[in-house]
């Protein structure tokens, strides 16, 4: 089965789903694309034991959410559309793989690092740059401390610094780093390894891991989303950061 959903392509073969983000050059997610991604997941997950996310083109897996959709009149719809993807993934029973090359930033990093496996090329770059716009990344606030510990998570979230694939692997964000040309082969090798195991046991084991170690994910994501909309987006600096980025100028922060 194959589906072409404009900026999101989905195909399912032998109970393996491939979802490709295709909005070149950086595969930036706008609201429409987020909704298509959620629709693709809704169709693919019941038919799949394994799901792979990848980015089209040579520059990026995904460079995050469209900054224009962070504007006050659009941000609520954007968060609702994007977080629907993570709520669906949290309820999914299949294994998930992110095949990352190039830039993996913001919402793209949140999507990748919420997967069970992250295979990254040597050229991949990871980061949560939202703080530079006067914002914070709601999903990363919940997921990163569990993955890499509070100090490492705070460093990435509070500075917005980018790190390379080797550092991401050292921190535990990446399962394996491969040369750029070996990413397809590395994905296929992992698929062969997983397909040799019991699908039902893999599903149960993944479900148990999630239940034991991230039981509050949905509640914490809802709280992060509430704070984003009710407090963060009411500040001068959050709105100034978005305006400055869109206006291609430096932000003028205001102590409040």
Q: Which of 110, 182, 222, 231 is catalytic?
A: 110
Q: Which of 35, 42, 93, 130 is catalytic?
A: 130
- Tell me if residue 225 is catalytic: no
Residue 14: alpha-carbon gap to chain centroid: 25
- Tell me if residue 110 is catalytic: yes
Q: Give me the active site residues, please.
A: 110, 130
């Amino acid at each position: 089965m194959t589906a072409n959903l404009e900026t999101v392509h989905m195909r399912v073969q032998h109970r393996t789903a491939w979802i490709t983000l295709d909005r070149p050059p950086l595969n930036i997610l706008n609201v429409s694309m987020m909704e298509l991604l959620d629709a693709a997941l809704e169709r693919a997950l019941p038919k799949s034991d394994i799901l792979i996310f990848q980015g089209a083109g040579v520059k990026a897996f995904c460079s995050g959410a469209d900054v224009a959709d962070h504007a006050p009149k659009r941000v609520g719809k954007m968060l609702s559309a994007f977080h629907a993807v993570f709520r669906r993934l949290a309820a999914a029973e299949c294994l998930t793989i992110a095949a990352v090359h190039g830039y993996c930033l913001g919402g793209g990093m949140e999507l990748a690092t919420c997967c069970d496996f992250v295979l990254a090329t040597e050229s991949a770059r990871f980061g949560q740059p939202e703080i530079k716009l006067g914002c914070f990344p709601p999903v990363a606030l919940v997921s990163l401390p569990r993955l890499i510990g509070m100090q490492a998570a705070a460093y990435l979230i509070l500075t917005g610094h980018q790190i390379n694939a080797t550092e991401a692997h050292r921190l535990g964000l990446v399962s394996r780093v491969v040369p750029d040309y070996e990413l397809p082969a590395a994905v296929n090798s992992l698929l062969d390894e997983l397909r040799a195991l019991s699908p039902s046991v893999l599903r149960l084991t993944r479900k148990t891991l999630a239940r034991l170690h991230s039981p509050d994910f949905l509640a914490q994501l809802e709280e992060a989303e509430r704070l984003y909309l009710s407090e963060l987006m009411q500040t001068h600096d959050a709105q100034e950061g978005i305006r400055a980025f869109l206006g291609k100028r430096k932000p003028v922060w205001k102590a409040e």
